[in-house]
Amino acid sequence: MKPVADKVIFCTLRLESPPLDKLAQKLKADGRAHALFDLWRNLVNQPNALTFVLKPPRDTKAAFHLCIECGQAFSGAELVFRHFRQQHAGKAVKSVQKTVEPPKGNFQFVARCGLCRALLCPPNYHEFSARLVTHHRERHDQVPFDEFRAKVTNSNSPDDVEAWRKALSVMEELHCAFCDEFVTDERALLDHVRQAHAGNVEKTEAELAIPAMRVRHLECRDIRRACNQVWDKEKKEPGHFLALLRQALSQRGLQIFRDILGHQYACRCYPRSPSERDQLTPRQQEILALASAPARRGHKPNRHTLRDHFAAQAVGELDVKTDVDALVKAGLLVELDNGQLDALGPGSHIAT
């Protein structure tokens, strides 16, 4: 299968339903009008709200490769097998212990590593030089070989010699964990797994859906780069994301309107002008008149200023709150997320 990295990876952002449903319920219960840009900024900080959707080019047979063990996604089979070899090699190995006859010979000494105190083998054993090189390469390759060799000591303890003999009387054979085939070493085993058991290592997908919170943990540079490029573009120009958010909130029964500067807001009711059917009280009409008047020093009235205004008329705070709630619920009064109140009229900031 051709690697996806040979071509351009198509990547888009998707909004997940559970966070959107929760947001819509919150906005309906709140009743205030919230700026769409602020809602976008809060959503992108939630770990489960965004998902990156990746697809290979349509004119190719490329596919993404996923590790069976951990789900890591890669753009090619070579990458997923390299990952498996580094992270999950033990899953393919079955070690079988086999009793064999211990080495015969006149062994009076056994060499011991001076760095890690591990027993190596007797100096007169035929594999002494090979085992010395292997131990240095696997355990102490950061130390020069001559320095390592100078620290190897000989022990004449009968217990050490017997421990070495006993260790060599048990041999470990490597078998494939999937088919029990015997192999000579781990490298040969992994080559066998790749050729005969690829389905136990990887699976292919024509499309990937990666939660935004997992992008930073991706090992594949091609996929991570495609996600980061889309994310960087959305942060600079969030118009596409705002359109998705607007559509999603509209489908959940929320109303979207704009102010005179073009900023979009989402609220429970679409702003409207009063009609004869509303049967407003004089105090409600006065509240609407105050809210629709031009802003004073850049600020529209809020619940506190209305409370102080009507306190001079000996109107209780609870009565003012009841009138404001009724007007907001009817869509005649808009309460922004910063607390300011607005209504359609000559001084309104709401675009008609």
Last residue of a domain, one of 112, 134, 168: 168
Is residue 129 in a domain?
A: yes
> What does the pLDDT average to over 87-93?
79
Q: What is the pLDDT of residue 265?
A: 92
> What does the pLDDT average to over 218-229?
90
pLDDT(16) > 80: yes
pLDDT(2) > 70: no
> What does the pLDDT average to over 9-23?
89
Is residue 113 in a domain?
A: yes
Query: For residue 59, what pLDDT band results from cuts at 50, 70 and 90?
Result: low
pLDDT(103) > 90: no
pLDDT(273) > 90: no
pLDDT(350) > 50: yes
Which of 161-170, 172-181, 269-278, 282-291 has the least mean pLDDT?
A: 172-181
Is residue 348 in a domain?
A: no
> What does the pLDDT average to over 136-150?
88
Q: What is the pLDDT of residue 21?
A: 92
Mean pLDDT for the chain? Answer: 85
Among 4, 73, 17, 12, CA closest to 245: 17
Is residue 136 in a domain?
A: yes
Number of structural domains the chain divides into: 2
Last residue of a domain, one of 118, 134, 168: 168
Distance CA 171, CA 99 (A): 6
Q: Residue 222: is it exposed, middle or buried by C-beta count within 10 angstroms (0-12/13-18/19+)?
A: buried
Query: For residue 6, what pLDDT band results from cuts at 50, 70 and 90?
Result: very low
Distance CA 102, CA 342 (A): 93
Which residues 6+ apart lie within 8 Å of 107 measured at CB? Answer: 122, 124, 125, 161, 164, 165
> What does the pLDDT average to over 86-105?
77
Summarised one tens digit per residue, pLDDT across range 168-188 is: 777 777 778 778 777 767 777
Distance CA 24, CA 15 (A): 13
> What does the pLDDT average to over 191-201?
81
Residue 305's domain is classified under what CATH number?
1.10.10.10
Structure-block tokens of residue 89: 């090699």
Angle subtended by helix axes 282-292 and 303-311, to nearest 10? 130
pLDDT(87) > 90: no
Cα angle value 118/120/122 (rounded, 5°): 135
Is residue 91 in a domain?
A: no
Last residue of a domain, one of 128, 146, 168: 168
Is residue 118 in a domain?
A: yes
- Could you tell me which residue, 302 or 61, shows the higher pLDDT? 302
Q: What is the pLDDT of residue 60?
A: 65
Query: For residue 352, what pLDDT band results from cuts at 50, 70 and 90?
Result: low
Query: Strands across the sheet with 182-183, in order?
Result: 93-99, 170-176, 182-183
> What does the pLDDT average to over 64-70?
89
Is residue 17 in a domain?
A: no
Is residue 67 in a domain?
A: no
Checking phi first, is residue 87 left (phi over 0); if not, alpha (psi -120 to 50) or beta? alpha
Among 119, 108, 98, CA closest to 171: 98
pLDDT(5) > 70: no
Q: What is the pLDDT of residue 7?
A: 56
What percent of the chain has a predicted confidence (pLDDT) above 90? 17
Range of the domain at 326: 269-342
